[in-house]
């Protein structure tokens, strides 16, 4: 009887631990500003599920969001992004897939990657002859957002632990000992 109960508990732990979905992606670690950044990935999420990838430039304090790009899981779990990096300045960046309330991502998922942008002409020193500017010429600035802290919800682990504890309590009330 002990072997049956132990086997059922182990099976419960294996099945309940496999409820998280996997999502992974590949991208270059360095890219030149103004070129297209290609990101491809695979997932066990359902076909047709849509989410976003967020891009942040690292700053001395916090990070500045530079883009949010949506994508959809295709047949076979594949997905693909093309991001125009025109206007991105030299520096260190991160790309991340934020946690989702509908589906939890497993610990084997790759949802964060750092990369570097180089070669932006706006950050290189150029010698030029001064010219007069008119009032019609303006400079546009982009408003930035602070990087939210990405945390994984511990809920799935607590559900597993609670299930095991409840099962053990029920078995102990029925007089079974271990």
Tens digit of each residue's pLDDT (9 = 90 or more) over 68-119:
999 999 999 999 999 999 999 999 999 999 999 889 999 999 999 999 999 8
Question: Cβ distance 103 to 21 under 8 Å?
Answer: yes
**What is the rounded CA–CA span in Å between residue 65 and residue 67?**
6
**What is the rounded CA–CA span in Å between residue 160 and residue 164?**
6
What percentage of the chain has pLDDT greater than the value 70? 64
Enter the pTM of the model: 0.59
Beta bridge partners of 144: none
Between residues 39 and 135, the one the model is more confident about: 39
pLDDT, position 172: 77
CA distances from 45 to 42, 53, 102, 122, 148 (A): 9, 15, 11, 40, 23
pLDDT, position 144: 41
Beta bridge partners of 99: none
Tens digit of each residue's pLDDT (9 = 90 or more) over 44-68:
999 999 999 999 999 988 899 999 9
Beta bridge partners of 26: 40
């Amino acid at each position: 009887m002990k072997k049956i109960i132990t086997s059922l508990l182990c099976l419960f732990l294996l099945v309940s631990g496999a409820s998280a979905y996997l999502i992974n992606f590949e991208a270059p670690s360095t890219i030149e500003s103004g070129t297209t950044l290609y990101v491809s990935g695979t997932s066990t999420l359902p076909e047709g599920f849509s989410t976003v990838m967020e891009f942040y430039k690292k700053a001395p304090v916090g990070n500045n969001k530079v883009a949010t790009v949506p994508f959809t899981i295709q047949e076979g779990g594949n997905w693909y992004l093309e991001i125009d990096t025109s206007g991105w300045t030299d520096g260190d960046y991160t790309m991340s897939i934020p946690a989702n309330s509908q589906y939890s991502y497993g610990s084997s998922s790759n949802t964060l990657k750092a990369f570097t942008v180089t070669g932006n002409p706006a950050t290189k020193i150029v010698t030029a002859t001064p010219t007069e500017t008119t009032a019609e010429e303006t400079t546009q600035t982009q408003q930035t957002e602070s990087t939210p802290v990405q945390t994984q919800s511990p809920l799935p682990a607590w559900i597993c632990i609670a299930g095991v504890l409840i099962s053990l309590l029920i078995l102990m009330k029925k007089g079974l000992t271990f």
